Amino acid sequence: MGSFACGKGWGRLAFCIVVAIGTCWSPSIVSAVTVTLGAGKASTIFENQPDHSIGRGPAVFVGGDSTGSPRRGLIDFNVAANIPFGATITSASLTMYLGLVGGADAGTPDQTPRTIDLHRLIGDWAHGPTGLGVTTISGTDQGYPAIPPSPTWDERRYQQGQPWTAPGGDFLSMASASTSVGQTVDNAYTWQSTPQLVADLQFMLDQPSLGFGWMLMNRDERVEGSYRAFYTKDWIDPLMRPQLLVSYELAPVPLPGAVWLFGSGVLVLAGAVRRTWSRSRSRAPSSCAVTMLSALVAVAPASGATITLNPNHDATIFGASINQGVPNTDGQDLFHRSNGAGPGIFAGGNGALAPHRSLISFDIAGSLPRGAVVTSAQLTMHIGIVAGSGGAPGLGDQTPRTMDLHSLTADWGEGTTGFNNTTIGGTGQGFPADPGDATWNARHFGSVNWTTPGGDFRPTVSGSLDVGSAFFSPQTWESTPQMVADVQGWLDDPVNNFGWILVNRNENSRQTHRAFFSREAEANGLANAIAPQLQIEYAVTPVPIPAAVWLFGGGLAAMVPFMRRK
C-alpha cells in the first residue's frame, strides 16, 4: 500500500485515532440560542411640558409636536433577567409598531420619512404610572401631569430629587442603531443589529446595575409635526408591542474529561492489542477500533443556564366573608372588585373573613429558548404588608400561614384597577372592577365567568410555603417536580400558560392575609419594592458531535485490513 502518513502498525494507528479525535473535536461545544424579549418599561418625556410624562400609556412618542417641541422615548428590556449570565451576545434587533404619525390628529399626517436613532441611556429612570388606563393614542402627545416617580424632561424620577445631568436625558452621543420610519400605521419598523447594538446588550447583561435601556431620538425632533408614536407594552394587542430579538451563545461547556483520558488509554491498549494481533492475525482490531470510537461519539452535554423573570401579569381577586348575609355580622361581599395594577397582591383572609387570592403569570416561551429542558423553578416574593398591622412592621398576624401554588387552567384579565396607589395599605379591599378584569366570579368581568368562583385551577399543589410576617422579607417557594412540570408545560404549550393562583390555607380566618409587592409596585412609587421573581434553571437541547467523527470511524474500519497486508 504506499506510504501511510501515520506510519505502520496498530500502535501508530492508535496514535492516529487520538490525533483525529483532537482534530474533529474542539475542547467544547457552544450552543446558540435566540429569544424574543418584551419591553420591561417605556416612557415619553416632553420638552415643552417638563412636568409631564407618559409611563404606562399605549404609546411612546418620538419627534416634534405641532410646534416643533421635541418628545423623546425611553425603553428598557430586562436583559439580565432573561439571558443567562456569561452568555455572549451575537445579534440584536429591535422591532416596534407604528401607532400614530405627527399631524394625523389635525388631518395632515406627516409624509416625510424620519430617521430615529437609538442611544444607550447612562442614567437610570423610573417607569412611573402616568397614563395607566389610557387606551387611545390620539390626543396624548402632550402627556399627563407626572405622577412620582415618573421620568420627565428634567428629572429621572419626578419630585424625588434626582434630575438628569442634562435636561432631556443622559445618554451616549453615538447612535447604536438607526432606522427610517414612514407613516404606515400598524407597520413594523426594525432597528437591525449593529456592532454597537450588540455591544449595548452585552454591557446590559454583564453589568445589569448599569443597564438602563435606550433613548429613542428623532433626528428631526424640532420639525413641526415630525413625531412618530410607537405602541408600548401597555398596548391592547400583544403582537404589536415592542420586541427585542437577541441571539446569543452560551458559555462553552467542556467535553467530558473521559474523552481525553480515553485517547491516552488507546495508546496504552495498543501495545497489548498489537501483540495479540501479531499472534492471531485476526481482524479484531478493526472492530475494536470502531467499537472504541462508537463509545466516544454520542452527543455533547447539554448546556445549563439560569434566568430570573418578573411577572407579565398579576392581580388579586376577592371573595365574600363567611358571614355575608347574616344579620348583625361584619359580612362582606367583594365579588365585583379587583386589584390588577396596585402595588400589592394579596392572599388570605381580611378582617371581615373575606378570602383574597393572588393570580400571577410569567412569559416563559418569550424568555426561554424553544426546546429547552426545565430542571428547576422557584418563585420568590417579598412581603409588603401583614394583615392587621396597619402598615407597621412587627405588628399584625405573626402566625406563619401556609400558602399553596396551583396551576390555573383558564386565562384571566389583569386590568388597571388600583393604579396610582402609592402604598399597599388601603388597597386590600380591591376596587370596583373594570370590564375585562379578573374578579372572584369572572375571568373577564362583564363577559366570561370562571367555571368555579374563586378561579379555575388544578387541585394538585405545585408548591407550598409557610409564609412569615417580616416586612420586605423574601418568601421563596422552592423548586418542586410539579413546579418544574408547570413551567415546562408553559414553555412547550404557551397558549395554555395561565400562571398560578396563590391560595392561603387559612383564607377563611380573620386577618390572615399577606400582601406581596406586585410587578407594578415600583411604578406606583414604592422605592424599596421588589417585584416577584421566578428563577428558572434549564438545559438547552444537546448539540450532536460532528458527523466527521463517524466518517472517520468508518474510514478506519476500511483502512485496517490494508495495513494488515503490509
Asked if residue 175 has pLDDT above 80, the reply is yes
Q: Is 312 helix (H, G, I), strand (E, B) or coil?
A: coil
Say how far apart CA 322 and CA 336 lie, in whole Å. Answer: 16
Cis omega (within 30 of 0) on the bond before 242? no
Confidence of residue 24 (pLDDT cuts 50, 70, 90): very low
Percent of the chain with pLDDT over 70: 78
Say how far apart CA 235 and CA 508 lie, in whole Å. Answer: 37
In tens, the pLDDT along 403-427 reads 999 999 999 999 888 887 888 988 8
Domain ranges in the chain are 9-30+255-302+542-565, 36-249, 306-539
Q: Is 490 helix (H, G, I), strand (E, B) or coil?
A: helix
Q: 310-332 in b/e burial notation, b at 16+ Cβ within 10 A?
A: bbbbbbbbbbbbbebeeeeeebb
- Name 48's Cβ contacts closer than 8 Å, sequence gap at least 6: 65, 67, 69, 142
Q: Is 483 exposed, middle or buried (0-12, 13-18, 19+ CB in 10 A)?
A: buried
What cell numbers appear for 511 in the block? 386577618
Average per-residue pLDDT in the chain?
83
**Sequence-ordered strand ranges (E) for 151-249:** 155-157, 162-163, 177-181, 188-191, 214-218, 228-231, 243-249
In tens, the pLDDT along 274-318 reads 554 455 444 444 454 545 444 444 445 556 788 889 999 999 999
Q: Is 119 helix (H, G, I), strand (E, B) or coil?
A: strand
Residue 293: count other Cβ atoms within 10 Å of its Cβ.
Answer: 21
Confidence of residue 15 (pLDDT cuts 50, 70, 90): low
Q: Is 555 exposed, middle or buried (0-12, 13-18, 19+ CB in 10 A)?
A: exposed
Confidence of residue 148 (pLDDT cuts 50, 70, 90): confident
In tens, the pLDDT along 195-226 reads 999 999 999 999 988 999 999 999 999 999 99
Please give the helix or strand (H or E) that residue 94 lies within, else none.
Answer: strand 88-101
Query: What is the gyration radius of the CA atoms in the chain, in angstroms?
Result: 30
pTM of the model: 0.59
In tens, the pLDDT along 69-87 reads 999 999 999 888 788 888 9
Residue 114 has φ and ψ, to the nearest 5°, of -120, 135
